Amino acid sequence: DFIKTLEAGNEAKLQQNIDEIDKSKKAITTHEGTIERLRGKLAELNGNIEDYSSVSSKDTKLKGITDRLKRTIQKHDKDKHFYTENDNCPTCNQHIDDGFKADTISGLDDKIAEVNQALDEVAKQTQETASRLADIAETQNEISEGQQKITVEQTSISSHQKYITKLEEEKV
């Protein structure tokens, strides 16, 4: 009678292990499906940010152009100030003709206006690239979160596989 009780207990334990193995295998299949969906989403997200290098390069170039334009405006302002404040050349003491000064100042004002217009256009483009870079950064965060989710899913699969191995060893 005792042996029958032991055998019944062993059979019950064996069946319980088989059931647990089946549950773990189903869980693994579910995790694998989740990983595949996440990988598909990550591939799509990566496709959405393929322009990162070109946008980043454009942003760097626009910042350089902005700096050059600002220096140009500063130089023209300095030259304008010179002609506005001086009637004689400080180097050679020669008189600067009023007509020449007026023409030069007018020409500098035109150049300053032209450069300011270019600066406005570059600022608009810089804003567009900054906006795109912000979108790209947000997408990169989504990619990072997706990769973390995949890691969690892979860890779960590994845990289930170890559990299955343990239960299979108990069957023997």
Task: Report the pLDDT value the prediction gives residue 172, as an integer from 0 to 100.
Answer: 57
Identify the H or E element spanning 91. none
What's the DSSP call for residue 86?
A: -
Mean pLDDT of 46-58: 97
Task: Report the pLDDT value the prediction gives residue 90, as an integer from 0 to 100.
Answer: 87
Q: Where is average pLDDT lowest: 74-78, 86-90, 141-145?
A: 86-90
pTM passes above 0.85: no
In this predicted structure, the answer to whether residue 13 has a pLDDT above a threshold of 90 is no
Q: What angle do CA 74, 76, 78 make, to 5 degrees?
A: 70
**Tens digits of per-residue pLDDT, 110-123?**
999 999 999 999 99
Higher pLDDT, 168 or 171: 168
Task: Report the pLDDT value the prediction gives residue 76, as an integer from 0 to 100.
Answer: 98
Contacts 24+ apart (CB under 8 A), 131-135: 132/51, 132/55, 133/55, 133/56, 133/59
